[in-house]
Amino acid sequence: MFEGLKNKLKGVRSRFGASIEEHIEESPVVSLPSQEIYAGEESSHQAESIPEDHQVGELSGKRIPPSGKETNPQKDGFFTKVKTLVTEREFILSEKDLEEPLFELEMILLESDVALSVTDAIIAHMRQSLIGNHRKIRQSPDEIVTAALKNALREVLGEGLDLVGFIRSHEKPVKILFTGVNGTGKTTSIAKVGAFLRKEGFSVVIGAGDTYRAGATEQIRVHAERLGIRLIHHQEGADPSAVLFDAVEYAQAHGVDVVLADTAGRFHNRANLMSQLEKIRRIFKPDLIFYVDEATAGNDAVVRAAEFEKTIGADGVMLTKVDMDKKGGSAISIAHTIGKPLVFLGVGQEYEDIVHFTPDLIINEILGDDA
């Protein structure tokens, strides 16, 4: 996933590292306060060579060996006071030092369909993390840049949603409503979520709320039969709210844990269809609303998700076709833009080709073995 973005970021990380390395070489050496230690004439070691049972007299400053007799370091020549000058190089990066790689990073993110507001947030985090801070030279330049980039990505990706924990702690049945535009793989995604929840030990029923699209009920019926999940459906053209109401009734009567509700795909700018979706929400009373879109749509997916969230609401996002998305912009942008977590990523055609989102999942994918 995200091969294009991964390769581009590898290049800009190298340029960040080169800029930091150049600045380190030009940084002055800082002298720290000298330290006084005692060294024996017959030993090349410093403070650590002095036996622990040789104590310094509290008032006289003389050494008292185990025999109890005092010794004079200057007279006896056994101990010699040595002053060591500790030096360490530290550096401070300025805006000018990182101006070019920061600009290049900004262009890479925008070209990869990362939303402008998210790009701005990442660049701001990189500036705050790298510029103006006193640093000791203990990490390599690449480690410094990678750590800053990881933290910036984690900040915009968010923490995700622990769906399994939510279901276990919530009153049953948990009702999940799926919304989205036409052709983004919403119905197949519902089947994948059903398979995922069954593996987690939950019982599931699906409500066939897409009653207008020709063949929609048949499509979800095939998935349900393959997975061994009960499907509640009415005839074509029926009121979807009635179908989903019956699905909840069935779940309550049979002790089912989760109701997954399919709906007809619709665009956010079709007022009549969005009004129908509002009716479904009032009657179905979902505990969670998941917006489904395809990762390959890039910024269009981000814009549509924001409109759906504003109009009907959303508690999480599922992105399909993530395995086909070489840019990665929507996966990075969508949670930060609408303020709702990513929940699932669809990464293939099979039922098991679904990944429960965590920020490290994308960070490790984008930054490779260095994350």
Residues 168 and 74 in one domain: no
Residue 98 · residue 19 · CB < 8 Å: yes
Tell me what the mean pLDDT of segment 315-324 comes to: 93
What percent of the chain is predicted at pLDDT more than 90?
Answer: 46
Structural domain contains residue 68: yes
Q: Is 204 a residue whose pLDDT tops 90?
A: yes
245, part of any domain:
yes
pLDDT of residue 283: 93
- CATH number of the domain at 256, please: 3.40.50.300
* Residue 139 sits in the same domain as residue 224: no
Q: pLDDT at residue 289 above 80?
A: yes
**Concatenated DSSP letters for 156-197?**
HH-----HHHHHHHSPSSEEEEEEE-TTSSHHHHHHHHHHHH
Lowest-pLDDT range of 56-70, 93-107, 242-256? 56-70
Q: 355 and 214 in one domain?
A: yes
Q: Residue 211 — pLDDT band, cuts 50, 70, 90? A: confident
Same domain, 170 and 281: yes
| Higher pLDDT pick, 38 / 317 | 317
Instruction: Provide the residue type at 328 as one letter.
Output: G
Residues 167 and 138 in one domain: no
Taking CA 209 as the corner, what is the angle to CA 323 and CA 330, rounded to the nearest 5 degrees?
25
Asked if 104 and 225 sit in the same domain, the reply is no
Q: What is the pLDDT of residue 98?
A: 78
Q: What is the CATH number of the domain that holds 129?
A: 1.20.120.140
Are 263 and 311 part of one and the same domain?
A: yes
Indicate the number of domains in the chain: 3
Considering 106, 131, 157, which residue would you say is the last residue of a domain? 157
Amino acid letter for position 231:
L
Q: Are 362 and 356 in contact (CB under 8 A)?
A: no
For residue 357, is it within any domain? yes
> Residue 39 region, left (φ>0) first, then alpha (ψ -120 to 50), else beta?
beta
Residue 202 lies inside a defined structural domain of this protein: yes
Looking at the predicted structure, is the pLDDT value of residue 188 above 50? yes
- Which pLDDT band holds residue 167 (cuts at 50, 70, 90)? very high
Of 127, 157, 187, which residue sits at a domain end?
A: 157
In a domain, 368, yes or no: no
> Cα dihedral angle (98, 101, 103, 109), rounded to 10 degrees?
-130
Nearest by Cα to 155 from 192, 118, 193: 118
Domain closes at, from 131, 157, 183: 157
Supply 113's token pair.
């369909």
Same domain, 106 and 248: no
Per-residue pLDDT, 62: 46
What does pTM read for this prediction?
0.77
- 8 and 115 co-located in one domain: yes
Please say if the pLDDT value at position 145 is more than 70. Answer: yes
Residues 256 and 339 in one domain: yes
Q: Provide DSSP, 273-330.
A: HHHHHHHHHHHH--SEEEEEEEGGGTHHHHHHHHHHHHHT--SEEEEE-GGG-SS-HH
Predicted local distance difference test score (pLDDT) of residue 168: 96
Is it the case that residue 231 has pLDDT exceeding 60?
A: yes
Evaluate whether 261 touches 275 at the Cβ level (below 8 Å). Answer: no
For residue 275, the enclosing domain spans: 163-361
Task: Tell me, yes or no, whether 227 lies in a domain.
Answer: yes
Residue 50 resides in a domain: yes
Q: Quote the pLDDT of residue 29.
A: 45
For 211, list phi and psi in degrees, rounded to 5: -100, 5
State whether 131 and 193 are in the same domain: no
| DSSP percent split of the chain into helix, strand, coil, nearest 5 | 50, 20, 35
My answer on whether 251 and 342 are in the same domain is yes
Does residue 212 lie within any of the structural domains?
yes
